Structure 1
């Protein structure tokens, strides 16, 4: 009888720790690091920090379904919070997400946002079909930035949030030509067309610059050639000189010389008198 009481008391104490984020913080305060599965989750600025989660939320984030099911079988109420389900979705643990949904666990828009960012299409599909929280423009934006085009296409077909006005800019800046083409085809350009070409030119993405020149009526600014010249992207400078009228400023030539791109600086002096 005494052993049974001790066992029950120990079990109750364990559940207190498992479900209290403040105690969890004390437990892990002197740990050398976090599990590799939680590395990206802990660094995310859009969902709760690691120290704000209970251990059972951690278990959900890592897909440890047997532990969660055991706790549920012992009638531990609300063992996983919305933050835990968000984290499970972010890390792509579909079966855990299914089970948490089945027992009525809440989540937020960051469940689908996070799954989209990591390219977990099946999780995105499940949340869209079975949950009502939805997502925000950051779902498509982050899927675009990470080049998860299968997720982008699904969101385009089934969701209405779209992306941010900065999505095209990021895709152009990173040289993702196919993504830029997709956003153009589906009219997801926002109001940042000029900045998109400016940054594509600055980073030397000639194919993106050429596409935007042909298809983006907003054009660019002198920053496009200034940035390309500063970084020594001679082919981009020549393309802009041939096809555009915005030109450059003296700053572009100055920075080209400072960075050792004398051929570019000489070209600008010849063609733009700077």
Structure 2
């Protein structure tokens, strides 16, 4: 509903002797009876707001029911409309609209939702204006302060604490936000106010911010020892062995458990910090299951870590790298690691694990010929493996090449998963094509199509492709190609 109210008003030229009611009738016909919030949503016209306000004053003197009349006849609706209109104006980031709303609703209490939205946008000028409107009675909640802090508007946080009736607490959550954001300046400001440290949900920060976070850790740990575990994980992510040693010496008294070092090992493996990984593993008691450590290295393409783990623990049968005794991955951690590497596009890791898998299966077959089960794995094209979905064309090509190496793989006795039945192979190709189409990876679609042609009767292929792929939302060019093929 386009509303160009200024144009409408400027184009209405009625004779001077026309009764005053006529312009109102004309405008009522042209402009629907809507709320101020709705008007702000559909138009940036202050003239439209002026007209709706004038309509409300006019209708208040009559018995006619209208939305506009409620503004002048229902006090609760008046206050509610103020909150809705102001919230909409703030959401539209239209300062002119905001100032109009505030000017026309003097003395109305400001809702918490409005304050949260204003604080999240860092509009200190509006908070000060609303404070003046309410005569210093603005009440600030924990949520309002949090919104400002989480969005980095610390000048708003300072003003709210100093100039409003804030909820009385020690603002520990603000300290947590400052620490989590590596904001040393604000952490010191809050600390100087005597605020303690609450639980902090640490997010991963850029490596260049590590010195700042480390300085915060040094200070915070003097008052909150529980943060030592988070500090140790962050040290692992940033390959800071000296800081990790300091933590273990002073704070990480693990009570005889592996938890701090196992968590650190996982973080180091994920980031490819080999020196840190080695440091943690040397301190682990009774190393048994490292399948999750191996999985994280494979998923994140840390080939150096994958190779080192294999070399280090190949001769230690008590250490579990692949069978997956961890509760997360069940009995096929090696398969999960290969699938993860494929889905993330790490071809070098996938190839290494594939060769390793063949080697392990050959060894197990020789050691246990009677009970040996063929469980070698090549990542599938189904929903659990996403190279096609993510557009990793080289991975897709390698998967097809590996599946055709039956003669070489037969010697290792692991072809159960590689010699797929034709029907199964077709279904997997269709599944992969569907994912590639849905995510606009046209080059992957074209490659998979050539593979599909090789295992399908061309006369039946076109209808099956359309039936399986045409419904998928996709680019116009891909849709046109599907129509052609």
SS in 2 for 1:184: helix
Structure with higher Rg: it is 2
Query: Aligned residue for 1:58?
Result: 88
SS in 2 for 1:96: helix
Query: Aligned residue for 1:239?
Result: 279
Query: Aligned residue for 1:81?
Result: 111
**Cα distance in structure 2, aligned partners of 1:128 and 1:79:** 19
**Cα distance in structure 1, aligned partners of 2:26 and 2:146:** 42
Structure 2 residue aligned with 1:96, among 108, 126, 139?
A: 126
Q: State whether residues 81 and 106 of structure 1, in contact with CA within 8 Å, keep that contact through their aligned partners in structure 2.
A: no
Query: Aligned residue for 2:173?
Result: 138
Q: Which moved more, 1:132-141 or 1:101-110?
A: 132-141
Query: Aligned residue for 2:248?
Result: 213
**Cα distance in structure 1, aligned partners of 2:205 and 2:106:** 49
Counting only pairs closer than 5 Å after superposition, residues 1-274 of structure 1 correspond to structure 2 as 1-2=20-21, 16-18=35-37, 54-60=84-90, 64-75=94-105, 78=108, 80-104=110-134, 105-134=138-167, 136-158=171-193, 160-164=195-199, 166-167=200-201, 170=202, 176-186=210-220, 187=222, 189=224, 191-198=226-233, 200-201=235-236, 203=237, 205-206=239-240, 209-218=244-253, 220-229=260-269, 232-240=272-280, 245-247=283-285, 249-252=287-290, 255-256=293-294, 259=298, 260=303, 261-268=306-313, 274=319
1:59: Cα distance to partner?
2.4
The one of the two structures with greater contact order (alpha-carbon pairs below 8 A, sep at least 6) is 1
TM-score scaled by length of structure 2? 0.40
CA distance 1:223–1:143, change in 2 (3 Å): closer
**Cα distance in structure 2, aligned partners of 1:98 and 1:138:** 24
Q: State whether residues 106 and 133 of structure 2, in contact with CA within 8 Å, keep that contact through their aligned partners in structure 1.
A: no
Q: What is the RMSD computed on CA atoms of the aligned residues?
A: 4.2
Q: State whether residues 247 and 272 of structure 1, in contact with CA within 8 Å, keep that contact through their aligned partners in structure 2.
A: no
Q: Deviations over 1:163-194 (max 9, x none)?
A: 21x44xx2688763422431431435352423
Query: Aligned residue for 1:30?
Result: none
Q: State whether residues 86 and 98 of structure 2, in contact with CA within 8 Å, keep that contact through their aligned partners in structure 1.
A: yes
Q: State whether residues 232 and 264 of structure 2, in contact with CA within 8 Å, keep that contact through their aligned partners in structure 1.
A: yes
CA distance 1:61–1:230, change in 2 (3 Å): closer
**Cα distance in structure 2, aligned partners of 1:204 and 1:268:** 24
Q: Which moved more, 1:233-242 or 1:171-180?
A: 171-180
Q: State whether residues 60 and 68 of structure 1, in contact with CA within 8 Å, keep that contact through their aligned partners in structure 2.
A: yes
1:196: Cα distance to partner?
4.1
1:107: Cα distance to partner?
3.8
CA distance 1:86–1:69, change in 2 (3 Å): same
1:226: Cα distance to partner?
5.0
Q: State whether residues 90 and 117 of structure 2, in contact with CA within 8 Å, keep that contact through their aligned partners in structure 1.
A: yes
CA distance 1:56–1:211, change in 2 (3 Å): farther
**Cα distance in structure 1, aligned partners of 2:101 and 2:109:** 7
Q: State whether residues 144 and 152 of structure 1, in contact with CA within 8 Å, keep that contact through their aligned partners in structure 2.
A: yes
Equivalenced residue count is 238
Q: Deviations over 1:11-30 (max 9, x none)?
A: 9955x342xxxx69x97xxx
**Cα distance in structure 2, aligned partners of 1:252 and 1:116:** 39
CA distance 1:97–1:198, change in 2 (3 Å): same
1:234: Cα distance to partner?
1.3
